[in-house]
Amino acid sequence: MLEMIFKNLWARRWRNGWLFAELIIVAVVAWNVIDPIIVDSWVLAQPMGFETNRVCMVNIATYPKASSQYKAENDSTIIDDYMRLREAVRRIDGVEYATVVPRMLNIPSTMRQFGAYLSTEKDPERKIIGYGIAYMPGTDYFETMGIKAIQGQSLQEVTGKALSDKQLLLTETAAKMLFGDNRLPQPIMQTGFDTIYSEVVGVLPDMKYRLNYRPIPMFFVPMLKPEDTSLIMLRVRDGLNINTFMERFRDNHIANLQIGNLYVSSVMDYDSYIYNYGWGASSAKKFNMHVTLLVFFFLSLGLGVIGAFWLQTKTRQNDVGVMKAYGASKWQILGMLLGEGVVLTTVTWAIGCFIYWNYARMEGIYSEIPFAGLEPAPSWLDSFSLHFTITSLVLYVVMLLVVLIGIYIPARNISRILPTEALRDE
């Protein structure tokens, strides 16, 4: 069978020449299109590192001085008012935990990065960039955000030691980059405008800074008082529908949640925030464009293959007639025609990948860009050979499916023709 397949392809090399060239072009162009889809899909599928499904963001606003409800004397109590407002939210029926967080130093964030170079006293030249998260001890921050402890430790064991701004919690990737393991406590240096010596007292699981980024090195710093642009995060009780809770929250509580010059302006579920601000309209538009291009290329390829075989139906009918006259079954004929497609696809895929490999060696291949140069957790994306191999194999499977479907439709009709009908004009 294999020998016959190669003979048929060689005998029809001029007729299949344009299809051969089309497959090579499709392989080269589709590689460039499919790679971002694979990378972005894989990154999006990675867990955030904390549970967001029962979390709401409660946005806090301040009465302007022109408002009749503004009182100048309340400006001096605004920090304490945040904590009183948090307690009021915490007492609402259905709320399990509530915490106060800085609006721009939470996870994930798109507004401001609190970053620092991190290094150890033993190896001060080895520096990594870490993304800083501020939290308030004693306000159930980690429970509210759904951050778990690493295996073998309770959350209280990990987080209960970090009570001053000189005590840090690291994520696993940051700890491994700095220390090579998770043995603690160990001293660490934060280098920004000034060098600050701190102690790492706990390690937390890796987390994603944005929905479309891999986990990056993070460090958590206790914040002793709220910023004047903070918000409240809350976690609803297990089993309570978050949409039902938010609807009830808006109807029954927002109007009453005001302390001093602070008031609750809105509430939204955290998953929506993560998607809207972490993924973003521009990223989604670019991703959808790549998907559309990929569908277009393979739809064109499928129609091209079907068209090529339909145009050659007459001559293929004669071949089939001869095979049937010698006792070939319908499945043997289908196997021969599909086998030609497999060989043709394999050869053109290999040539197309080789062409793109030469281009990629010079220009690089697609990868998500970590925010502000933060080094992400290691993965297969960092290995050129592994990355190229995975994308190439996915491309091969997709090309093969499209070609085989394109061949099967006309080949099935040809294989059903009677020998007398196929050889009528001979």
pLDDT digits (tens, 9 = 90+) for 305-338: 777 766 665 566 666 666 655 556 667 777 777 8
- The whole-number average pLDDT for the span 402-408 is 82
Distance CA(104)–CA(86), nearest Å, equals 18
If asked whether residues 178 and 254 sit together in one domain, one would say: yes
Q: What is the pLDDT of residue 111?
A: 47
Domain match, 96 and 216 both: yes
Average pLDDT, the chain: 80
- The rounded distance, in Å, linking the Cα atoms of 85 and 262 is 8
- Match 């020449």 to its residue by tokens: 17
This prediction has a pTM of 0.76
C-alpha–C-alpha distance, residues 420 and 418, integer Å: 6
User: According to the model, what pLDDT value does residue 14 have?
Assistant: 63
Percent of the chain with pLDDT over 90: 19
Contacts of 68 (CB under 8 A, 6+ apart): none
Q: Which helix (H) or strand (E) holds 213?
A: none
- Give dist(CA 290, CA 36) in Å, integer: 7
Distances (CA, A) of 346 to 310, 351, 398: 22, 9, 12
Strands lying side by side in the sheet with 262-269: 95-102, 230-236, 55-62, 262-269, 258-259
Task: Return the number of other C-beta atoms located less than 10 Å from residue 337's C-beta.
Answer: 23
3-class secondary structure, 196: strand
Query: Distance between CA 180 and CA 173 in Å, rounded?
Result: 9
The answer on 119 and 6 residing in a single domain is no
Residues in the chain: 426
The residue range of the domain holding 8 is 2-47+280-422
Tens of pLDDT, residues 170-189: 888 888 888 876 555 566 66
Among 256, 279, 302, the domain-final residue is 279
CA–CA dist 228, 136 (Å, integer)? 14
Asked whether residue 64 falls in the same domain as residue 137, the answer is yes
Which residue among 279, 297, 332 closes a domain? 279
**Co-location of 65 and 108 in the same domain:** yes
What Rg do the C-alpha atoms of the chain give, in angstroms? 31
Per-residue pLDDT tens for 64-123?
888 888 888 888 888 889 999 999 999 999 999 999 988 766 666 544 456 777 887 777
Range 193-208 average pLDDT: 80
Backbone phi and psi for residue 203, each to the nearest 5 degrees, phi listed first:
-125, 135
C-alpha distances out from residue 89 to 99, 100, 224, 253, 254, Å = 9, 11, 20, 9, 10
Residue 326, pLDDT score? 56
pLDDT per position as a tens digit, 206-254: 988 878 788 888 888 888 777 767 889 999 999 899 999 999 999 999 9
Who's near 315: CB < 8 A, 6+ residues apart?
Answer: none
Q: How far apart are CA 291 and CA 216, in angstroms?
A: 27
Per-residue pLDDT at 55: 93
Per residue in 15-26, pLDDT (tens digit) is 677 778 888 888
Q: Please write down the HEC assignment for all residues of 73-127.
A: HHHHHHHHHHHHHHHHHHCCCCEEEEEEEECCCCCCCCCCCCEEEEECCCCCCCC
* One domain, residues 139 and 81: yes
Which DSSP string do the residues of 319-370 spell out, in sequence order?
A: HHHHHHHTT--HHHHHHHHHHHHHHHHHHHHHHHHHHHHHHHHHH-------
Residues 331 and 353 in one domain: yes
Shared domain check, 244 and 272: yes
Per the structure, the count of domains in the chain is 2
Last-in-domain residue among 279, 308, 334: 279
329 and 275 assigned to the same domain:
no
Residues 76 and 183 reside in one and the same domain: yes
The answer on 327 and 373 residing in a single domain is yes
CB 171 within 8 A of CB 375: no
